Amino acid sequence: MQITVFRYGHRIVRDKRVTTHCALVSRALGAKEMIYCGQEDNELFENIRRIDKKFGSDFKITYVDNYIKKLEELKKDNILVHLTMYGQNIVDTVKQIKLAKTSKGIVLIVGSQKVPVSVYHISDYNASVTNQPHSEIAALAITLDRLNPNILNDNEGFSDAKVKLVGDNDAKRKVKMR
Amino acid sequence: MQITVFRYGHRIVRDKRVTTHCALVSRALGAKEMIYCGQEDNELFENIRRIDKKFGSDFKITYVDNYIKKLEELKKDNILVHLTMYGQNIVDTVKQIKLAKTSKGIVLIVGSQKVPVSVYHISDYNASVTNQPHSEIAALAITLDRLNPNILNDNEGFSDAKVKLVGDNDAKRKVKMR
């Protein structure tokens, strides 16, 4: 299941850490790319690239200026799932997506600032991880885990990693260099 | 299962949003309290209180100065689970906790800045949600979901809420006032 994350909105100063967390969570939990709109941020790009080179994978981070054009394009080959406080239950949504057995990819849309109505309209699903206010990072993480729970069983990391953490209960910070 | 979240470290300017996300995720996903150390932050306290009053629950947010004393005290009645990039697999950890059928509560420890060795030592489990760098908010969310997955089936929210969101796939933002 090919998963892309679409981050709606990025303000360089205000959203730096939260957007970085979104990108790292996407990468760690099996998404192949994060696309974002808002302010283009080279430092964000470089930070993610640096981590990706060190720990492996070929996660992409891409900026787009025109979000709606990009979402229209993505909709041809993907199911668009917008994560919002106002949507239907994520448990039902994941069930429906899996039952549909589609060969399409999935785009998970997470907002930073207020998301325009057009995003609600273009999405195939508006889905909520609880109807409580909390965190787009958390909503994204739980949705990625629920779509593909096996990813958490993988202790091997990415095959092209330069540094690999081999954790245990003592957390002795073993690091394998390749 | 009584769950408390312990946030190690808070810097008022730098960590404002991330600590807020941690608190809101804890509340939304069934934890009863978040305790934090670092810089005491009245605005953080007030923000969480305001959301809690509006959307219900009696989630507590508590500041402690001496984190190790507090963790020692909590350890008497709780299993301490430190979420770190260097720990054993979270899937195994959750399995072990559930198999133990303990009557103790659980304290989930999440760091902001570098966590001192004493926290690794005092913890019953050092557990990793992947051995990749990503986000303490995501690690916390996934662990809460995995410990108590039924919480996501609840569409009712908290009984004492003043405002309740009733989401659906159209995300028409229905709000029920009580």
Count of Cβ atoms closer than 10 Å to residue A5 Cβ: 27
- Residue range B119-145: average pLDDT? 97
Contact criterion met (CB < 8 Å) for A167 and B128: yes
The single-letter DSSP state of residue B41 is -
Contacts of B170 in chain A (CB under 8 A): 120, 126
Tell me phi and psi for residue A91, to 5 degrees.
-65, -45
**Closest approach of A97 to chain B, Cα-based (Å):** 13
A113 touches chain B (CB under 8 A): no
- Which are the contacts of A51, defined by CB distance < 8 A and separation ≥ 6? A24, A27, B133
Nearest residue of B to residue A92, measured between CA atoms: B153
pLDDT band of residue A2 (cuts 50, 70, 90) is very high
The single-letter DSSP state of residue A104 is S
Q: Among B133, B157, B171, whose Cβ lies nearest the Cβ of A55?
A: B133
pLDDT in tens, B34-79: 999 999 999 999 999 999 999 999 999 999 999 999 999 999 999 9
pLDDT in tens, B82-100: 999 999 999 999 999 999 9
pLDDT of res. B143: 98
Nearest residue of A to residue B137, measured between CA atoms: A138
Contacts of A127 in chain B (CB under 8 A): 169
pLDDT of res. A177: 65
pLDDT band of residue B177 (cuts 50, 70, 90) is low
Return the residue matching tokens 């998404």.
Answer: A31
The single-letter DSSP state of residue A114 is P
Contact A164, A130 (CB under 8 A): no
pLDDT at residue A178 above 70?
no
Return the residue matching tokens 């930070």.
Answer: A47
Contact criterion met (CB < 8 Å) for B120 and A24: no
Nearest residue of A to residue B164, measured between CA atoms: A131
Among residues B90, B105, B94, B85, which one has the least CA distance to residue B31? Answer: B105
Contacts of A151 in chain B (CB under 8 A): 130
Q: What is the crossing angle of helices B16-28 and A136-147, to 10°?
A: 50
Q: How far apart are CA A128 and CA A148, in angstroms?
A: 17
A83-92, A131-140, A151-160: range with lowest mean pLDDT = A151-160
pLDDT in tens, A30-52: 999 999 999 999 999 999 999 99
ipTM score of the complex? 0.96
For A67, half-sphere exposure in the C-beta direction (CA atoms, 13 angstrom radius) is: 25
The pLDDT mean for chain A works out to: 94
A114 touches chain B (CB under 8 A): no
B90 exposure class (CB count in 10 Å sphere: 0-12, 13-18, 19+): buried
Contacts of B176 in chain A (CB under 8 A): none
**Closest approach of A74 to chain B, Cα-based (Å):** 20
